[in-house]
Amino acid sequence: MTKKKSKYRPRPLIYDTMNFVKVGITPVADVGEAATSLQMINRDSLEEILKGRGTKWHVDTLIEVFNLCEAMAMMRMGNDWMEEIHEGQNALLAMARRGVKGGSFVFTGPEMAIVKTIMELHEEQLKQCTVNQLDDAMRLVKECKRLKKARKIMEEV
């Protein structure tokens, strides 16, 4: 019989607390190159799918964007858009399932309109949120995945 393993894990140390707090309250728009590259990746993924050249990577990127958008709305950053966010997620899910079955990831006309709206909403959220709020939203998405609250693209057979 083996000895029971302790569940205690020490928290990571923050060596420069002032810098940690200062960076946390900085708006994401003021971070600079990191925020710009994030927005470019998000926009590029949407553009590639709209042009009919989307891959699984582009769809995964859009899924992450939409999940972050929903998490930020749950944190009171655009929560009046929650119905549209769910419509956009449904459109993205339908497109992804069609793409898995048919091989090409392409939106229909109404799906395209709502997806563009949600992408604009997410870009506004990124302009207005702080680094800590973005980090909290990312933790919320990770927690939802861990608890298996997310819908799967591939149905269990």
Spell out the domain ranges in the chain: 31-146
Predicted local confidence at residue 154, as pLDDT: 66
Amino acid residing at 2 = T
Q: Average pLDDT for consecutive 10-residue bins of the chain (157 residues)?
A: 84 87 85 84 92 91 93 90 93 91 87 93 92 92 89 62
Predicted local confidence at residue 157, as pLDDT: 35
Predicted local confidence at residue 23, as pLDDT: 82
Q: How far is CA 150 from CA 1, 18, 64, 87, 144, in A?
A: 39, 36, 11, 15, 6
Q: Which residue has the tokens 């939802």?
A: 144
Predicted local confidence at residue 152, as pLDDT: 77
Bridge partner residues of 27 (DSSP): 130
> How is residue 22 written in tokens?
């200062």
Predicted local confidence at residue 135, as pLDDT: 92
Predicted local confidence at residue 156, as pLDDT: 43
Determine the length of the chain: 157
